[in-house]
Amino acid sequence: MSLKESALVGASRLLRSAVHILGPQRGDLVSAYLAEQMAPTVRKRTPVGLIKFFCPGALPEWRARTLLTKEPETLEWIDRFSAGDVLWDIGANVGVYSLYAAFRKVRVLAFEPSAPNYYVLNRNIEINELDSQISAYCLAFSDETGLDVFYMLNTTLGGAMNSFGEQVDWEGKPFKAETRQAMIGYTIDDFLQNFQVDFPTHMKIDVDGIENKIIVGAKQTLSDSRLKSLLVELDSARPDYCSSVIRTIESAGMKFVEKRHAPMFDNSRYAACFNYFFAR
């Protein structure tokens, strides 16, 4: 723990102690009020404008702060979209890339199964007055349509590394879920067939583990000429897995363009993780 983090932990403990002097009932009321009022709204200047981020925890604040540096290749990809294009942001988390795309006048459908993240995602849509530009859905995609379980590594706001339908992480390894969240899952093809929603001209898939299943459930969509480009985050340390996903995508008529990630990941645990880009 850094000196700054230690200072913050110490300050929060002092504040809790001071509040409890008021007694259990008043102390709980004051604590609840402070928790609600102290959640900051971070304002980030970007090439597309001033974007606001609701940050009720450390991870949402980090995601807001690193918007321009964590995945610059994703922003460059979005910057090539045209006004009126439609982005499907699958695994939207708290919505940083959904917001960026919406500020470029792109229509966005954001999909995020984590209930904590879905809450922050919708607050971000609200405070940026983008509810007519972004539609957020709390559901998962896979290779079958039906009810299943969303296995969550934790319920931290802004957290990731969860998996729908099976307890397998981004490296293809089993993990122990802290909690299980009931969730409805669709194939992308079924979702489009069952509901009157905007067809994606661009699609981003960042789901930490079942990319192959989502791609299998989207074969008709991937073959549709209206889909111009696709971004999928994959672990290149799993060559057989990556090759299988790439073959399925290319068999639908899309071409692999490149894989990229930010230099900040070069010497990290995620050095083998890249955003893979495909185009029609």
pLDDT, position 83: 86
- Report residue 85 as tokens: 């294009």
Domain chopping of the chain, boundaries: 56-279
pLDDT, position 19: 58
| pLDDT of the chain, 280 residues: tens digit per residue | 566 556 555 656 665 666 567 676 665 555 555 556 667 899 999 999 999 999 999 999 999 999 999 999 999 999 999 988 999 999 999 999 999 999 999 999 999 999 999 999 999 999 999 999 999 999 999 999 999 999 999 999 999 999 999 999 989 899 999 999 999 999 999 999 999 999 999 999 999 889 999 999 999 999 999 999 999 999 999 999 999 999 999 999 999 999 999 999 999 999 999 999 999 9
CA torsion, points 139, 187, 74, 42, in degrees to nearest 10? -10
Please state, in angstroms and rounded to a whole number, the distance separating the CA atoms of residues 187 and 178.
26
Output the CA torsion sign for 193, 199, 201, 205: negative
Please state, in angstroms and rounded to a whole number, the distance separating the CA atoms of residues 107 and 92.
14
Phi, psi of 180, deg, nearest 5: -115, 125
pLDDT, position 123: 98
pLDDT, position 5: 57
Q: Which run of H or E residues covers position 50?
A: strand 49-54
pLDDT, position 96: 98
Asked if 226 and 84 touch (Cβ cutoff 8 Å), the reply is no
Q: Alpha helices of 66-217 — where are they, by DSSP H?
A: 67-70, 72-79, 96-103, 115-127, 188-194, 211-216
pLDDT, position 236: 95
pLDDT, position 72: 97
pLDDT, position 7: 58
Bridge partners of 124?
none
Which fold does the domain 56-279 belong to in CATH?
Rossmann fold (3.40.50)
Identity of the residue numbered 147: L
